[in-house]
Chains A and B, each alone.
Chain A
Amino acid sequence: MANRLFQGVIHQLKDAIDRTIGVIDENGTVIACSELGKIGENVNIDFMNTSVSDTFTFGNATYKAIGSSQIGEYYVFVNGVDPIAEKNCIVLAISFSNIKFYYDEKYDRGNFIKNVILDNILPGDIYLKSRELHFNTDVSRTVLLIRSLDTSDIVTFDVIQNLFPDKTKDFVISINETDIALVKETAKDIEPKDVEKLALSIADTLSGEFYTAVSIGIGSSVESIKELAKSFKEAQASLEVGKVFDTDKTIVSYSNLGIARLIYQLPTTLCESFLREVFKRGSIQSLDQETLFTIQKFFENNLNVSETSRKLFVHRNTLVYRLEKIKRITGLDLREFDHAIIFKIALMVNKYLQSNPVKY
């Protein structure tokens, strides 16, 4: 599509600029040119070390990248290596960049997907637009939301874009300074663990190659394009819920949130009244850090007193004494399953209230 766009502009400009002008893609292939015979030829340029912000010369032509991405997608060229060629090259790069920007905004599939996941398009328009863009509406897709934990870095976007270069199937969308959404086409029967593995490979590549720590939220796999917004919201919610309940996890999948997902959807007033009902005798705040740590270990070890005491390096009787103390304060005997589950949920509700997460 870009070829025709560029060729159209070049056709209008070729009489105004008395030189051969054209555009090459990232592989060095001429995709548009004022000399039609040159289209399809390959210019053997190694772009690895060319700057995207400056002009450069190669052979008897001056080149400049179109756009401001770290890696040039298209380069404009003007015949000659003199200052006029350089000036023309800069002017052409700016105008092509702007034309492409407006064109992309109107016709770009990535932009369309962005509007879909952000709910910026009317449901009725989704199918009209997707037909216009020859967009396959009935394939399975999953939204992954990649959040940089440190600084915002353009590198993260470039890396993800390069990991998923097939622009007809996968869409990498910058949401804000820290978040990038990846809309990934998947097999219909893909297992959630396979999507998690994919997310892990993104996280590991970013960590290993560019020292970027990220956390990744995964939405459900959806069959219809209309549901992409739901998958995106789930991915957002996964990150928020993960921040509260799975602080040690890098990858949080919506399908694995369990009770946390339920709690996240509860109104805070209901949560507060639940806590008041559970801890009639004493507040959860009256439990000190050591006691809370003991409780956490007791749950981790499946309410097994011997195992927990070993893990805590305390005598069995010390642990029994601590459990009795908890029973005295809260009225809940953690050795009983029913009490333990109430306590576990109450702890999660408390954690949820304290963290005050964003709701999607």
Chain B
Amino acid sequence: MPKRIVYWLAGIAVAAGILTVMPLFHVKSLESTRQQAVAAAFDPVAVVDSLWAGELRESINDATPLPELLAALRADPAAAAARYGRRLGLSGTAAYWVSGQGVVTAADDKAVEIAVDGAGDTGIVIRLGPVFGNAIRDGSALLDVNDFASTRDFNALSVEINRRVERDVLPDLAAGASVDRVIRFTGGVEIAEGDGAAATLEIVPYVVAFP
């Protein structure tokens, strides 16, 4: 019997020794781990913040003037899409980065309609209310899907960009738009294949000004 007790004690001592060198678990503070996890996760807000103030602002001058784009689309939609548009992977839709100047023809709480100089018959609409889609993300050609680990993160960027538009751009537009006022804008637009000669184009604005 005593031998057994000796074996047991020896076993416990060895186990204790191993456990101090190679512990089974560490005790950590719950709060600090949670904060660490939040900090390590993908943060679309940070990416969009730096983009909004930086590269997007700089690319205002790269925007294609709407009359030029529309003329090209009417002439040869496929070539126009290839030259001015940006497709995400294999898509039937291309996104464009455009600018235009014109006169407000109608404004209510749902949308603002604009007659853009040189746009001919095509009506230009900027919708007020929730913003969806990837017009600015893809049209600006500043974000590459390959730079992000998962498309979930890439899509989160669109959500954040749209949120910024709703928060920073649309209120000014809604406040300032009234019929016959001159308006200048730069923004993104998505045009599906075969819709090149559409009657209206919906613009998602990045910047809007009433000169």
Same complex for A and B? Answer: no
